[in-house]
Amino acid sequence: MNDRTPVVVAARRTPIGTVGRAFAGVDVTGLVAPVIGAVVGEMAAAGGPAPDDVVVGNCTGPGGNVARVGALAAGLGHEVPGVTLDRQCGSGLAAVVHAAHQVQAGAAHLVLAGGAESASTAPLRLARPPDGGPPVPYARAAFAPTGTDDPEMGAAADALAARAGVTRARQDHYARTSHTKALAARAEGRLTAEVVPVGGVVDDQHPRVLRADVMARLRPAFTPGGTVTVANACPVSDGAAMTAVVPEHVRRAAGLPGLAVVASAVVGCDPASPGWGPVPAVRAVLERAGAGLDDVAVVEVVEAFAGQVLAVTDALGLDATGTDAHRVCPDGGAIALGHPWGATGAVLVVRLFTRLVRGGAAAGTLGLATAAVGGGMGVALLVRVVR
């Protein structure tokens, strides 16, 4: 490491709420401001520098600049700028990568980076037809140009699972395991230190006990004859997460443990198979670091769909439902916790921070976070514990 090596030295998140429930009346600013404030408070208590920038991933917000509005709402002062970026489900992770690049370049001594999504309060959108007709509602923007395959995420997950030979039984088992891990993590207090209560809500809403016999009776959710159901897919959710990224010399002066950024990668893949993105992204990041997956203690993957996660982990040589279950999303993932799109990638970094830094892992221990992205992309980040 050198003095400019980026290091994550603080990481917090809100509880994750199911759309229309706990945070039904909380807009995206109301979610992101508390976690910005919590991370800034930690840095101030450690004698760290003032923030140079705020980077927030967001997909379906109200427009404008969520990062700047959230920073002002958190009381950071007029002099702290902000930028909002959209890499769909990889947005929160891409924000951390962006912050790391700023720090590595010597352009900042503290960047707050994370993501936020309020699906409950996202505006309804209208499209103007090319023929000049009246505006019509649309569910999402295009992820690929007209004439190119641009499947809905659920249908794409069904197709990927079928192509990879991932059975419905394996998907259901993986989903049950995700919920079981999350419930155990909550009961054992492993999530407490990372969560910033919002409006009296202190726990994630979605984790529950799933019964195999009930899951087996559920119909396919997206494709006739498909294997993706509402039980082995993530729920639409609200939430926010935030990290503090500083150069190594600042971390060392403050005496803070953290996660040093070893390597990152953002890659493209076929838009018809967006869930495949983590495979080339992880391969690229490991090659850049000169490491192998056997060297990595914890692998956090955005669990949009169990079938997609299993197709990816199988391709990477991870047995996520067997011998590697203890290191793939070890405290549960988005299937159990929820998937606030723009925030989930940053939630992965918070989870790595809790599991490795708060959990007492030895210096040098590696962690990996990766996300698939609509439109055919993958994001991956490899980090190492420093103390």
Catalytic residue numbers read 89, 339
Is the distance from CB of 336 to CB of 363 less than 8 angstroms? no
Asked whether the CA dihedral 210, 215, 218, 220 is positive or negative, the reply is: positive
Is the distance from CB of 222 to CB of 323 less than 8 angstroms? no
Which residue, chain included where needed, has tokens 């984790």? Answer: 207
Reported as type and span, the H/E element at residue 162 is: helix 153-164
Burial (0-12, 13-18, 19+ Cβ within 10 Å), 34: buried
Is the distance from CB of 128 to CB of 135 less than 8 angstroms? yes
DSSP 200-263: TB-S-S------HHHHHTPPPSSSTT-S--SSSBPPBEEEEEEEEEEEHHHHHHHT--EEEEEE
Helix axes 306-316, 153-164, angle to 10 degrees: 40
What are φ and ψ of residue 356, in 5° steps? -100, -50
**How many whole angstroms separate alpha carbon 100 and alpha carbon 180?**
33
Q: How many Cα atoms sit within 13 Å of 371 on the Cβ side?
A: 32
Helix/strand number for the chain, H first, E second: 11, 12
Q: ∠ at Cα 88 (6, 197), nearest 5°?
A: 70
Contacts of 268 (CB under 8 A, 6+ apart): 277, 376, 377
Contacts of 197 (CB under 8 A, 6+ apart): 14, 15
Strands 17-18 and 136-137: unpaired
